Each structure stands twice: as structure tokens, then as C-alpha cells.
Amino acid sequence: MTWKEKHQKIQEQKLLVVGAGGIGCELLKNLAATGFRKVHVIDLDTIDISNLNRQFLFRKEHVSCSKAEVATRVVKQFCPAIDLTYDHDSIFEEKFNIDFFKSFDFVMNALDNRKARNHVNRMCHAARRPLIESGSAGYFGQVSVIIREKTECYECVEKPAQQKTFPGCTIRNTPSEHIHCTVWAKHVFNQLFGEVDIDDDVSPDMKAEDGENGDQNGEKAPDSETEEPAPIGTRQWAEGVDFDPQQVFDKLFQLDIEYLCKMEHLWKQRKQPTPIAYSTALETEPTPLSYQNALKNDTSVWTLSTCAQVFADCVKQLREQIRAQPDLRLSFEKDEPTIMAFVAAVANIRATIFSIGTKSMFEIKAMAGNIIPAIAATNAIVAGMMVTEAIKLVHGEHEKARNAFIRNQPNPRGKIFADEPPAPPNPKCYVCSETREVFIYVNPTQMTVSGLCEKVLKSELNMLDPDVMDNASSRIIISSDGDTDDLLKKKLSELAIEDGAILSCDDFQQDMVLKLFIRRQNDLKGDEFKILREETDGEKEKEEDKRKRKPDGEEDVEPEVKRPKIVDQVEVCAE
């Protein structure tokens, strides 16, 4: 094949890119420059001001606009020949079904969360389309090629469950897990009392009252040429009100949330947050715990009123501490009681606003870890490696495909890059193997149907809308149509689902069917469970997964597979 024929084949390929953030921006630029001419990009997120120093397709006037839309428009400006289309939507929408995935030659992931990665992996498997997976975290990065029946899929190797870094726009605007609120609370501490970092800003962009910045085409309003005063930073504003606890509380949890609510595009697919004023929070309980008493109850979940009281007490103490520092700064120390109590109170108030379950100070302290910053150079390298693998797929050179890894320092041979042939499919994988069997230990007298659905099938096994049937009785116990909602509160034992029961689980959207084998373990409480990938006679103590799953999905051990470091794209400031 001549080089012209190869180039022509590249132009004829139809690609799907999922994600238009840090890696996505670099990838779209590379695809256009390489000669790909038929590309469709999907991204639900909008542009945050913290994205601008890493995601080069976006400018200040694009803040609050759709990432997918702006990226499409900007790429077309420097490459008019490309047929680049977009969807500002969630990849989980039903319209992105198997037929949709079949309309592309292959798919390229530039995502920042595991749930979406799992879903795209399953859709590509069902549609028999190759997938190029990617990720970055600081100086680490990786690219993986996934081809049905030839390589392992994204879920063949179990990943660590606890994600430690998260997209900045999720932290600031649309938290969905308590860890997002905990990270935001640490940012609040730094903005008020620590070293100020623009990437850790906790307030929405206040320039546009309607939550938008210009029209949807990124054009400025007629009067936008008038020079506006520079916005006041959170620290400067707080100093202006002498760190008054009530005013700081109302700004963070009422005024800023009211502004977020005006961004209607954020709440089309999400529940809108509820602003909370300081006076309202205190009124929710007659006698909230003081800071000192709350510290004695660090394993209990504080009420909203107690969180507000602890917040006020901590702000007063931290105000005095910062004034005693020569550089007027405090450093975050999770073992310092006042700092940790402040972070716990802020995180729980934030969680309440976004209808997220609250946690104890002890649990929040365990979650508060270091934040890995996004590095634009890593994203650029990852995107380049993705296109290299894409060209191999275009020309059918599957045997040349490589999984590539970026290290944070050279190996003994002086290289920061490592590559290896993709591993074959894992015969124990419940996604791409022929058996698709999962063994689970539960206490049938305590595990509810709701817990089985939400915590096991949806949260752990990443199914979207499962239908579940008890094979012994042929009874439907979980229906995606809601026909079995009256059974959700029942214990499994009440439905005669005991040790040895086999449940057939079918997710129509993902075209995925698996068998769930129930095993009894009486010391498990409530919706706790222990999940196994495969069970072999006489070797139950040597199972692939020995973790005892708590309702919040925490894990205690790392997977046993040894290979180059695999990371998800977990940009704190780039997404």
C-alpha cells in the first residue's frame, strides 16, 4: 500500500472521541493534523476557568460553554477540512446505544472517571469495535488498545477502587460523591488560610449573572468591551469582612450556590443543589454541639447544625492562628484538630447542599489525601501515543498494537516510556469472557433487594438498568421498568434467595448478561458484601478478591496483578 493509499484510508475512517478535556483537546488537535476527517466528540462538561491553563482549545470567553461545542468550533478554525461533529451530552444516554457505536470504525476514550470508562468498554465490546483507552495522573500516563477476543478489556484487570484525584470542574460545580466535597473543603481551607492557588478557587466565575459568559458561540455581549474591575479573591474578600463566620458561611453555601443554580445547563441531567444560609443551618437543631464536644464525637456523623457551629468556631480559631504566622499562612495538616474539624464541617455542609450522604470526621480524615495536579505535557504525550496506535488500527496492524506507559522518572535503561503487547482476554472477566459469572458473599437475612441493585449491580459491577431473575423460581426481583419497586426494601431471604441461589442479570443498554451466584456469610451486616470474580472447588480461601465490601465501597487491599503503573485520567484542574 502506497503512502497516498494509507493517507486516503485514514481520511475515510469514522472515529468517536469520548471526552474533550485535558487529553481530549490534545487528541482532537492530533487527529485533525494527522488527516482524520470524520470525527464525532461527546462531552457533558462545560468549561471551567481552571481549565484554561491546560486545555489549549479554550479561552476566557468560553467559560461556562460546552467543551464539546467549543472544541469542535476551534478545531474547525485551524482545520476546515475536518468533518467534526459533537454532542453536549452524557455518554450514558440511551441514544448512544450499540447501533450508535457500530456506526464508527473505532473509539478513543479521553475520560476522567472509571464509571464512564467501564460503560464505553462494554459498549465497544458489544458493538465489536476497537477501543483506545487513555489516562494521566501527574507525570504518569498510559494508553491501552482493546480489541474484542484479542486483548484484555478495560475491566479484565481490577482497578483500585478508591480514586484519589478528581476533575476540577466536578469539585467546584457538580460534586456527586463525598470525596468531591472533601477535596473542595481542602481548597476552601487553602483559599482562606493557606497558600492561594488559582486552580483551587472555590467560587463560580461571577462575571455573568446568568451563569453564561457570552452567547453559545463564544461571542461577547455588546457592552463587553467595557473594562471590568478585577474580581476579588476569596482570601481578600474574607479579610475585608474580618473572617466573619456568618458572612463567610453565607458566601460559600448560600450566595455561591444560588449563582450555581442559575447555570441551568448544569442541572439538566443532575439534581439542583439547595442553598443554605447560616441562620437556617443553626435552626435545624436546638442545641448543636460545640467545636470541643464535636471533636469528642469524631466517629459520629455531625448534624447540619453542628457542622455550622463547628465551622463558625473553627473560623474564629483559624483567624487567630493565621494572624500569629509571620507569612500569614497555614499549612493543611490532617492531624491538626482545628484544621481537620473545619474541613469535615465544610465537606458535610457541601454534601448536604448537593444531596450527598454525610460522613464522620474520622471517615473524612481518612479520605483527605494529596491531590495530584494535571500536567499538560503528560496529556500531550498520551494523545500522541493514542494517535500512533490509531494509525495501526486503521491499517489492520493489530499485531503491532502496544500498551504504552509514561513513567515519572527514567528506568535503568534511561527511558521514561515503556510498552508491551496487550495481554490476552482474562478468562475470569465477567465482561468479555464466555462464562460471565460472579460469585458474591452476602447475608441474605440482611441484604436488601435495593442494596443488591444499587451497591452490587450498579456501583460495583457498573450495570446501568439491570433486570434480575431468580433462576429457581423464574421470578423477576429487579425490573428496569420499575415494576418491582415494592420488593426493594425486602431482604433476600424473604424472597427465598439463600445460599446457592443463582440470579440472571441482564442489562439491555449494555447488551450484557451475567450470572450472580449467591453465597452465605453470616458475619456480614446490612448491605455489606464480598465479591469474587470466580469460584473454584476447594480453593475458596484463594479467591482473586478477598475484600470485605462496605456500603460506601471502600477497599482494603490492592489488586495482585503486577504490571507497569496504570492510571486513570484524573485531572484536578484540567477537567
- Active-site residues, by number, are 169
Task: Answer yes or no: is 214 a known binding residue.
Answer: no
* Pairwise CA distance, residues 319 & 239, whole Å: 9
* Pairwise CA distance, residues 96 & 94, whole Å: 5
Task: Answer yes or no: is 404 a known binding residue.
Answer: no
Task: Answer yes or no: is 261 a known binding residue.
Answer: no
Instruction: Concatenate the DSSP letters of all residues of 59-75 into one string.
Output: -GGGTTSBHHHHHHHHH
Residue type, 213: N
* Pairwise CA distance, residues 215 & 213, whole Å: 7
Task: Answer yes or no: is 153 a known binding residue.
Answer: yes
Length of the chain: 575
* Pairwise CA distance, residues 234 & 203, whole Å: 8
* Pairwise CA distance, residues 199 & 26, whole Å: 20
Within a 10 A sphere around the Cβ of 326, how many other Cβ atoms?
Answer: 5
Residues 6 or more apart whose Cβ sits within 8 Å of residue 557: 546, 547
Q: Give me 278's grid cell.
A: 447560616
What is the separation, in whole angstroms, between the first and last Cα of the chain? 40
Task: Answer yes or no: is 396 a known binding residue.
Answer: no
Task: Answer yes or no: is 122 a known binding residue.
Answer: no
Task: Answer yes or no: is 429 a known binding residue.
Answer: yes
Tell me the residue ranges of DSSP E strands in 59-208: 83-87, 106-109, 131-137, 140-146
Q: Give me 165's grid cell.
A: 484525584
For the beta sheet containing 512-520, the strands, ordered from the edge strand earlier in sequence to the opposite edge, are 475-478, 466-470, 502-507, 512-520, 437-442, 530-532
Task: Answer yes or no: is 492 a known binding residue.
Answer: no
Task: Answer yes or no: is 505 a known binding residue.
Answer: no
Task: Answer yes or no: is 112 a known binding residue.
Answer: yes
* Pairwise CA distance, residues 373 & 199, whole Å: 9
Residues 6 or more apart whose Cβ sits within 8 Å of residue 272: 261
Task: Answer yes or no: is 181 a known binding residue.
Answer: no
* Pairwise CA distance, residues 403 & 385, whole Å: 9
531 bridge partner residues: 440
Task: Answer yes or no: is 260 a known binding residue.
Answer: no
Task: Answer yes or no: is 426 a known binding residue.
Answer: no
Task: Answer yes or no: is 20 a known binding residue.
Answer: yes
Residue type, 306: T
529 DSSP 8-state letter: B
Segment (H or E) for 506 = strand 502-507
Task: Answer yes or no: is 408 a known binding residue.
Answer: no
513 touches 436 (CB < 8 A): yes
Task: Answer yes or no: is 471 a known binding residue.
Answer: no
Task: Answer yes or no: is 117 a known binding residue.
Answer: yes
Task: Answer yes or no: is 51 a known binding residue.
Answer: yes
Q: Distance between alpha carbon 515 and the CA centroid of its chain, in Å? A: 27
Task: Answer yes or no: is 403 a known binding residue.
Answer: no
Q: Give me 224's grid cell.
A: 463587553
* Pairwise CA distance, residues 169 & 26, whole Å: 19
Backbone angles phi, psi at 519, to 5 degrees: -125, 145
Task: Answer yes or no: is 224 a known binding residue.
Answer: no
Backbone angles phi, psi at 321, to 5 degrees: -65, -40
The annotation places the binding site at 19-24, 43, 51-54, 67, 90-91, 112-117, 153, 156, 429, 432
- Binding site feature residues for ATP: 19-24, 43, 51-54, 67, 90-91, 112-117
Binding residues for Zn(2+), by number, are 153, 156, 429, 432
